[in-house]
A and B are shown apart, each in its own frame.
Chain A
Amino acid sequence: MDEVADRKSRLGRSALLSAAAVLLLAGLALRAIESAGSRLSFSPAAGSDGVKEVSIRARSWGFTPGVIHVDPGDTVRFLVSSDDIKHGFAINELGFNLQLAPGREVRSPDIRVDLPPGKYTIHCSTFCGLGHSTMKASLVVGDASPATASRIPWLASLFTLAAAGAFTVLAARRRP
């Protein structure tokens, strides 16, 4: 009886400790990701020629600023430079892709943003190493309420949690 209780309490302690460790480390990681600074937001004002000019710096692995706000119908020009190695700067929906080289500022043509309101991905199009897939920024057109898309990573996390939990329960239940 004692042994069983002992084992069960051991199991409970293990579960608690594991959950605490995961929560703590996950929290730290989230803070690190969010404070990476690339969520810096920028809303350019139109210059004297009616074109909104945006200066962006690319580095391994992120863009600064990370969010750019424009209105539908605006004409935008991007001035992009790379802080380290060769990167790309592309917005597929606007149909352009700049290749960057360190030390050089590249200027996009003047582009008319004829897109419906929403959040569009700016991504690095030149394979630049381990973090290449993280190297993204956002172009927010209009008053986009990006509610749906922004919930997805959390939903995915919850789903993963549930899957891991389900597995653990199933594994615990199975008797030889």
Chain B
Amino acid sequence: MSRDLLALRPVHRALRFRPFQFLAILPAALLVAVVVASCWLGVDHPGFNFGTVFTWVVWWGSLLLSFVFLGRAWCLVCPVGAVGEWIQRLSFWGRSSRTAGLLLPWPRPLRNLWLATALFLAFLWLDNGYGLSNSPRLTAGLIVVLTLASAWIGLLFERRAFCRYLCPLTAFIGVNSLFSILELRSRDAGVCRTDCPTKDCYRGNATTYGCPMGEFPGGAMDTNLLCILCTECVKGCGHDNIGLRLRPPGRDLWAMRRPRLDGAFAAVTVAGLATVAPLLTYAWLPATRRSLAAVLPAGTPPNDPPRLLAVALLFALGIGASAGLLYGSSLLSRRAAGVGTVPARTLFAHCAYAFAPLGLFKLLADLLDHALRTWGTLGDVTRALMLDFPRNRVVGGRVTVVQLAGPVPAYLMQTALLLAGLLFTLYALHRICLRLFADRDAALAAFLPMAGLGLLLTLLGLWMLGASLL
């Protein structure tokens, strides 16, 4: 059923071409440079600044869409991670024998996604607390801080340790990429096992580097979670045994042999942030802030400690509640399937990944809403940028707000998206339960509580999006 893109000669030639990734990164790097210039030097207003509008609407929206079709394709072109790599390799695309880096191994206790998930939550807290996406200056600061971090980590540690363990987006991107219709895997596992003693895809050789993410395409890598599509393994494999295949969406969600808890928690975080956390904040932020203002000194927002702490608490509660709900469903599933079969913890780890599409499609629905209602802004800021390129200090004039669809058609489109997300999640849950339980009835009994949770989260999303129609 899968279609191997690398079987096509032009694709094969392009992906084995060493400068391929650099050529892909270059336009992205130039764009990010313009964004940073515009954000730092330009009009200090989020609605008039090209940088903020481009980053938080265009880039963020394209990112979400790219997960569906291309997996971690953003990571392929991301200039932030590339900076660390260029410094480490002392080369833009060639396989150099020198290195500027110390190539220290990443500390063992941090070899997981926990740190990255924590940083992702910290970033979201900054955004909601201080209005990061609301401020050109803070946006520029964020990009600069991340780039410097990538540079330092690349200088000190081996491979792309920043991209794999530290980037605030890696857990988010990784979990969502499990859904994509594209995958990079070995073609024939037998060849890797028996015919290849050198494992160049992982170790590298005289002409290529080993996988920058530390993955082993010839063996352990069975999902898209960490593959940034850099094509280094494609260039390095002496047996031409790597394929870039199209496949039905979401297959990775149920194909993991030993799903790890850190990724499972990241998946729960994504789904929870899209549904439960906004609900709690929407309902309880003013009251929580009021209670905290009794003990903390108030300030002018955004430097208002009660509000900042309230946002942090409610986010933590939202994530905790989501994990709790999933664990509760795991317990129910275990009981329903019959005691002594699959432990709840295993159910949790497997099923959590299935909720990724639900979160992803809710985030898509959120962004669709914004794009449909404020379409004219992008045109305005691009025009303003062109008037004073790249510093963007000019205000183009009056702001236009063009509505592409009314509230009802927009809501219907959002419903369609949420429904699609739910159906993918349900299908993934179904396949996971079938794999975990030999008995079909036990699998179905285990499936029901999980499906119920998926339904609940989807309804939450529908009601929050539709609250204004009521």
A residues lining the B interface (CB < 8 Å) = 7-8, 10-11, 13-15, 17-19, 21-22, 25-26, 29-30, 32-33, 35-37, 39, 59-62, 82-86, 88, 90, 92, 95, 97, 99, 102-103, 121, 123, 125-134, 136-138, 149-150, 152-153, 156-157, 159-161, 163-164, 167-168, 171-172, 175-176
Contact = CB atoms under 8 A, between A and B. Distances in A.
User: Which residue of A13, A97, A132, A133 has the most chain B CB atoms within 10 A of its CB atom?
Assistant: A133
B134 A127 contact: yes
Interface in B206-237: none
Interface stretch (B97-105, B176-184, B282-290): B282-290
B12 interface: no
B194 interface: no
26 contacts: A11-B336, A13-B445, A14-B333, A17-B449, A18-B452, A30-B463, A32-B280, A33-B463, A35-B283, A39-B470, A86-B134, A88-B374, A99-B45, A103-B301, A123-B468, A126-B46, A126-B47, A127-B134, A130-B274, A130-B278, A133-B370, A137-B468, A160-B418, A163-B419, A171-B444, A171-B447
Given A33-B283, A160-B459, A164-B454, A7 B448 contact: no
A126 B134 CA distance: 7
A161 B466 contact: no
B454 to A, nearest CB: 7
A94 B386 CA distance: 29
A14 B285 contact: no
B312 to A, nearest CB: 13
Contacts of B465: 133-134
Contacts, number: 239
B454 A7 contact: no
A84 B304 contact: yes
B448 A15 contact: yes
A85 B283 contact: no
Interface stretch (B15-23, B150-158, B400-408): B400-408
A125 B462 contact: no
B444 A172 contact: yes
Contacts of A156: 411-412, 415, 462, 466
Given A17-B332, A21-B332, A163 B283 contact: no
